C-alpha cells in the first residue's frame, strides 16, 4: 500500500516575509479578475472562480511539493469544464453549477486514486510538440467562445463551427458599445503587458473599465456587467452517483491535462531553487485541491503558469505567498462586492482572449519546424484534433498521436554494420566512418531499438538484407544487442527465424552485449540452447578476439 509522506516543512526565514507578502498581494491583484473571467469561461457565475480558489490554495499549500506553483482556476480546465457540463445542464444555470462542482469532485477522486496507484508517470505522456499544438487548438476555442461577450452578438452554444456559423449569421446584432469596451480593454492589456510587465495589468484594466461603467452609466446603454454577487458562502451540494458516472470520462481528460500542466510548470520553476517535485505527491495535492473546489461549489482547478511566473518574479519563496493572496481575496469578497458587480463582461472576455493568444506558442512552432518537420506535423495534428473533435476528444487524439509517433520511431530505428576504425577503440557504424574496415569473415550487426511486435519483422528483414549486401565471405554473424534492452514473444520469434536463416546458410550465429535480464528471457524462450554457449560474448571486443582465434585454428 502506498503511504503519502508529506514533505518536511522548510525552515521559514524572516527574510522571506517581505517577498512572500509582496508577492501574495501582487498575485491577488492579478488573480481576482483572471479567475472571475475563467469562471465565466467555465459557464458558471464569475464569482465561482473566487470561491474555488480558497480550498484549492489551502490544500495545495499543505500537500504540494512545489514552493511556487499557483493553484486555482485555469483557462484550459475551465474550457474543458464548459464543454463537459453544458450538454448535461441543458441551459439550466443551477444545474450547470452543480455539475461543474461534481466534475471537480470527480477529478479529485481520480487524482487521489492515481496517486495511490503511483501513476505520476502519466505526466510524461504528452510530448512537447503535442502540448504546443494542443494549447494552440485550445486557444482558438477560447477565442471563439468569447465572441458573444466582446461583441454583444448572440451566439448559440454548441460546437466550434456551430458557434462560428451562429456568430456570422447574427452580425446585424453587433453592439458597438460592447465592442468598444472590449477593444479598448484588449488594447490596454497588450500595452501594459509590453511596457509595464511587472504590474498586474488585468487588475488595472478591470479597474479602469469598471470606473468607466460607473461614470458613464454604460450598463444602462447595453454594456452587460457581472451583476450582484451572492454575499454568503456557497452551499455545498452533494453529487449524485449518476452524475459522477456521466462525468467520469470528462474528469479523466481534465485530470490528464491538468496534471501534465501542473508538472510542467512545477518543474520549470522548481529548478530555480533546486527543490524536488514529486509527481505522485502532486497527484494527491491536485486531488485534494479539486475536492475542495467541488465542495466550495467551484469547478475543476489546475495550475497557472502566468501566476506562478508572477510570484517568482515578485520575490516569493514559499507557499505562504498563496495564503497571503487568499487572505486578500477574502477581504475583497467581504468588502468589495459592489465594485465586483460593476465589472463589464466585455472586459472579462478581453482578458480571456488575451490569455488565449498567449497560449499560441509561435516561437515553439518555429522551433519545431527548424528541428524536424515531423515534430511540426505532430503539433499541427494535435491542434487539428482539438478543433475537429472538440477539446475532450482532442485530449485522446493528442495522446494517440504521441504514442503512434513513438511506435513509428521505434518500429523503424537505425541499424548498423560494424567495423573497426584505425586509432579508435571498439567497433563502429561503417556508414559513420569512411575509414572503418569490417573484420574479414565476421559480420557484426547492430539494431538500435528494443525488439517488440511493431519492429520484429523489420529487424529480421533488415538484418538479412544487410547480410545479403555483404560481398565478403562470412563465417560468423554476431548480433550486437547493447541497444536491445527489452523483447516480447513476437520479437523472439523473429530472432529465432533470423538465427535459423543464418545458420541455414552455413554461418555460425552469435550474440554480444546481452544484458543479464535479457539473457534470462532468451533462456526461457529456449534460444540460448540453440546458440552455442561459447557464441554468447560479453562485448564485441571478446567476439572479435574469439573470431580471430577461430580463424587461426582453421587457417594456421
Per-residue pLDDT tens over the stretch 442-463: 999 999 999 999 999 999 999 9
pTM above 0.75, yes or no: no
Average confidence (pLDDT) over 364-371? 91
Secondary structure element (H or E) that encloses residue 420, with its range? strand 415-421
Count CA within 13 A, CB hemisphere, residue 456: 15
pLDDT bin (cut points 50, 70, 90) of residue 257 is confident
Cell of 334: 467581504
pLDDT bin (cut points 50, 70, 90) of residue 193 is confident
* Most confidently predicted of 42-56, 290-304, 341-355: 290-304
The pLDDT, as a whole number, for residue 146 is 83
**Are the C-beta atoms of 376 and 369 separated by less than 8 Å?**
yes
**Are the C-beta atoms of 487 and 410 separated by less than 8 Å?**
no
Give the whole-angstrom CA distance, residue 180 versus residue 177: 5
Residue 192, SS3 per DSSP: helix
| Residue % of the chain over a pLDDT of 90 | 33
**Are the C-beta atoms of 485 and 450 separated by less than 8 Å?**
yes
**Are the C-beta atoms of 85 and 100 separated by less than 8 Å?**
yes
Cell of 169: 449569421
The pLDDT, as a whole number, for residue 433 is 92
The pLDDT, as a whole number, for residue 230 is 59
Average confidence (pLDDT) over 277-288? 91
| pLDDT at residue 103 greater than cutoff 90 | yes
- Lowest-confidence segment of 95-99, 180-184, 346-350 by average pLDDT: 346-350
Of 6 and 442, the one with more pLDDT: 442
The pLDDT, as a whole number, for residue 2 is 47
Average confidence (pLDDT) over 500-526? 94
Among residues 85, 80, 78, the alpha carbon closest in space to that of 99 is found at 85
- Lowest-confidence segment of 47-56, 174-183, 396-405 by average pLDDT: 396-405
* Most confidently predicted of 192-201, 238-247, 292-301, 480-489: 480-489
Provide the edge-to-edge strand list for the sheet that holds 474-480. Answer: 424-429, 415-421, 441-447, 474-480, 508-512, 536-537
- 72: β partners: 302
Give the whole-angstrom CA distance, residue 510 versus residue 18: 68
The pLDDT, as a whole number, for residue 391 is 66
Residue 402, SS3 per DSSP: helix
Give the whole-angstrom CA distance, residue 14 versus residue 170: 59
Cell of 383: 491542434
- 346: β partners: none
Cell of 470: 555483404
| pLDDT at residue 225 greater than cutoff 90 | no
Q: pLDDT averaged over the chain?
A: 84
| pLDDT tens, residue by residue, 546-556 | 999 988 877 66
| pLDDT at residue 70 greater than cutoff 80 | yes
- 427: β partners: 420
The pLDDT, as a whole number, for residue 160 is 78
Cell of 378: 505532430
The pLDDT, as a whole number, for residue 490 is 96
| Residue % of the chain over a pLDDT of 70 | 90
Give the whole-angstrom CA distance, residue 299 versus residue 44: 8
**Are the C-beta atoms of 79 and 275 separated by less than 8 Å?**
no
Q: How many other C-beta atoms can be found within 10 angstroms of the C-beta atom of residue 132?
A: 25
| pLDDT at residue 1 greater than cutoff 50 | no
Give the whole-angstrom CA distance, residue 454 versus residue 180: 57
Q: How many other C-beta atoms can be found within 10 angstroms of the C-beta atom of residue 268?
A: 17
Q: How many other C-beta atoms can be found within 10 angstroms of the C-beta atom of residue 332?
A: 17
Cell of 240: 449524485
pLDDT bin (cut points 50, 70, 90) of residue 242 is confident
Q: The cell 458562502 sits on which residue?
A: 233
Angle at CA 124, nearest 5°, toward 123 and 128? 110
**Beta-strand pair 71-72/302-303:** antiparallel
Secondary structure element (H or E) that encloses residue 427, with its range? strand 424-429
pLDDT bin (cut points 50, 70, 90) of residue 107 is very high
Amino acid at each position: 500500500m502506498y503511504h503519502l509522506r508529506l514533505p518536511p516543512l522548510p525552515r521559514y526565514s524572516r527574510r522571506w516575509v517581505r517577498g512572500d507578502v509582496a508577492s501574495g498581494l501582487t498575485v491577488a491583484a492579478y488573480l481576482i479578475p483572471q479567475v472571475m473571467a475563467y469562471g465565466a469561461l467555465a459557464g458558471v457565475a464569475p464569482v465561482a472562480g473566487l470561491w474555488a480558489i480558497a480550498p484549492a490554495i489551502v490544500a495545495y499549500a499543505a500537500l504540494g511539493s512545489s514552493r511556487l506553483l499557483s493553484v486555482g482556476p485555469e483557462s484550459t480546465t475551465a474550457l474543458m469544464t464548459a464543454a463537459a457540463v453544458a450538454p448535461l445542464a441543458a441551459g439550466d444555470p443551477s444545474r450547470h453549477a452543480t455539475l461543474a462542482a461534481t466534475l471537480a469532485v470527480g477529478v479529485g477522486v481520480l487524482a487521489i486514486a492515481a496517486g495511490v496507484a503511483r501513476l505520476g508517470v502519466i505526466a510524461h505522456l504528452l510530448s512537447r510538440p503535442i502540448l504546443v499544438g494542443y494549447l494552440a487548438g485550445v486557444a482558438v476555442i477560447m477565442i471563439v467562445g468569447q465572441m458573444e461577450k466582446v461583441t454583444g452578438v448572440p451566439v448559440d452554444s454548441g460546437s466550434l463551427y456551430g458557434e462560428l456559423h451562429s456568430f456570422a449569421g447574427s452580425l446585424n446584432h453587433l453592439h458597438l458599445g460592447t465592442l468598444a469596451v472590449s477593444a479598448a480593454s484588449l488594447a490596454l492589456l497588450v500595452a501594459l503587458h509590453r511596457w509595464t510587465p511587472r504590474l498586474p495589468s488585468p487588475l488595472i484594466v478591470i479597474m479602469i473599465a469598471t470606473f468607466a461603467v460607473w461614470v458613464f452609466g454604460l450598463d444602462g446603454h447595453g454594456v452587460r456587467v457581472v451583476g450582484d454577487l451572492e454575499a454568503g458562502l456557497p452551499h455545498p451540494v452533494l453529487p449524485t452517483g449518476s452524475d459522477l458516472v456521466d462525468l467520469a470520462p470528462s474528469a479523466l481528460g481534465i485530470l490528464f491535462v491538468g496534471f501534465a500542466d501542473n508538472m510542467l510548470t512545477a518543474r520549470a520553476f522548481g529548478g530555480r531553487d533546486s527543490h524536488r517535485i514529486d509527481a505522485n505527491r502532486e497527484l494527491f495535492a491536485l486531488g485534494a485541491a479539486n475536492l475542495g473546489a467541488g465542495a466550495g461549489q467551484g469547478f475543476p482547478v489546475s495550475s497557472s503558469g502566468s501566476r506562478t511566473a508572477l510570484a517568482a518574479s515578485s520575490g516569493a519563496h514559499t507557499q505562504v505567498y498563496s495564503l497571503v493572496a487568499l487572505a486578500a481575496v477574502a477581504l475583497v469578497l467581504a468588502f468589495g462586492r459592489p465594485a465586483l458587480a460593476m465589472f463589464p463582461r466585455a472586459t472579462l472576455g478581453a482578458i480571456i482572449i488575451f490569455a488565449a493568444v498567449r497560449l499560441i506558442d509561435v516561437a515553439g512552432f518555429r522551433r519545431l519546424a527548424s528541428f524536424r518537420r515531423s515534430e511540426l506535423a505532430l503539433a499541427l495534428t494535435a491542434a487539428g484534433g482539438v478543433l475537429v473533435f472538440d477539446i475532450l476528444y482532442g485530449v485522446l487524439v493528442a495522446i494517440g498521436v504521441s504514442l503512434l509517433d513513438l511506435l513509428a520511431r521505434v518500429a523503424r530505428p537505425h541499424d548498423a554494420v560494424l567495423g573497426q576504425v584505425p586509432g579508435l577503440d571498439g567497433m563502429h557504424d561503417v556508414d559513420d566512418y569512411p575509414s572503418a574496415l569490417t573484420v574479414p569473415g565476421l559480420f557484426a550487426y547492430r539494431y538500435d531499438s528494443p525488439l517488440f511486435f511493431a519492429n520484429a519483422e523489420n529487424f529480421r528483414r533488415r538484418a538479412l538484407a544487410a547480410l545479403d549486401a555483404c560481398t565478403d565471405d562470412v563465417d560468423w554473424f554476431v548480433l550486437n544487442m547493447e541497444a536491445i534492452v527489452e523483447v516480447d514473444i513476437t520479437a523472439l520469434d523473429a530472432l529465432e527465424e533470423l538465427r535459423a536463416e543464418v545458420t541455414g546458410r552455413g554461418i555460425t550465429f552469435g550474440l554480444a552485449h546481452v544484458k543479464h535480464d535479457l539473457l534470462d528471457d532468451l533462456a526461457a524462450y529456449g534460444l540460448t540452447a540453440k546458440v552455442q554457449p561459447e557464441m554468447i560474448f560479453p562485448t564485441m571486443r571478446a567476439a572479435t578476439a574469439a573470431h580471430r582465434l577461430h580463424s587461426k585454428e582453421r587457417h594456421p
